[in-house]
Amino acid sequence: MTSKLISALTASALLLAGASNAAAATKTAVFAGGCFWSMEKGFESTPGVISAVSGYSGGASTRPTYENHTGHLEAVKVTYDPAKISYARLVDSYYHHIDPTDPYGQICDKGPSYKLAVFTADASERAVAEAARAKYEKQLRAKITVVTRAAVAFYNAEDYHQDYYKKNPVAYERYRIGCGRPQALRAVWGGQEAR
């Protein structure tokens, strides 16, 4: 082999190793916060978050669909860079994108699949989620309805739900404004809500 070919192969191997290490450095977390369209939009605008995927989690069925996801919560799987955002800050971001005191769902989306939950992967994440719950219960002087649940399987929602706010910006804004989401979050967070 020529030295140029060896150099090219070495450079390619280093690039692939770097890409693999970067991918290994990311983590995922799952949150249920009402309509997954809004959660996806909120997390994707959070610094340190790489992506958010709409889906279903928490139920028994292994093939949930939008038409039939009984037992599952609408949720988002967030991929993030822990060097840029800690899990604790991610949980704080989650809280500021929801009304954590709503016992029936989230804003205008009511019912079992819109309930609030932080799905935790281990004892460390559970401790962070529980500390956030206690902190916001004290800060808001209200009962927090976010539950901490052990992480279980996450199922991606249908393609038409992914990046809905990007693909259908007018329809999404009509839903968001019509639902009263900005006003509801402002009422809870007094201007400290995430945007």
Digit-by-digit pLDDT tens for the chain (195 residues) are 455 545 544 445 444 545 445 556 999 999 999 999 999 999 999 999 999 999 999 998 899 888 888 889 999 999 999 999 999 999 999 999 999 999 999 999 999 999 999 999 999 999 999 999 999 999 999 999 999 999 999 999 999 999 999 999 999 999 999 999 999 999 999 977 766
- Token readout for 48 is 């340190």
- Token readout for 94 is 């989650």
pLDDT at 7: 52
What b/e sequence results for 146-157 when a residue is b if at least 16 CB atoms lie within 10 Å of its CB, and e otherwise? bebbebeebbeb
Dist CA 163 CA 25 (whole Å):
24
Is residue 108 flagged as an active site residue? Answer: no
pLDDT at 192: 74
Dist CA 90 CA 78 (whole Å):
9
- Token readout for 140 is 């808001």
Check 29, 32, 35, 90 and give the catalytic one.
35
Helix axes 123-140, 87-95, angle to 10 degrees: 40
Q: What is the DSSP string of 43-98?
A: HHTSTTEEEEEEEEESSS-SS--SS--TTPEEEEEEEE-TTTS-HHHHHHHHHTTS
Note the pTM of the prediction, 2 decimals.
0.85
Handedness of CA 137, 91, 169, 161 (dihedral sign): negative
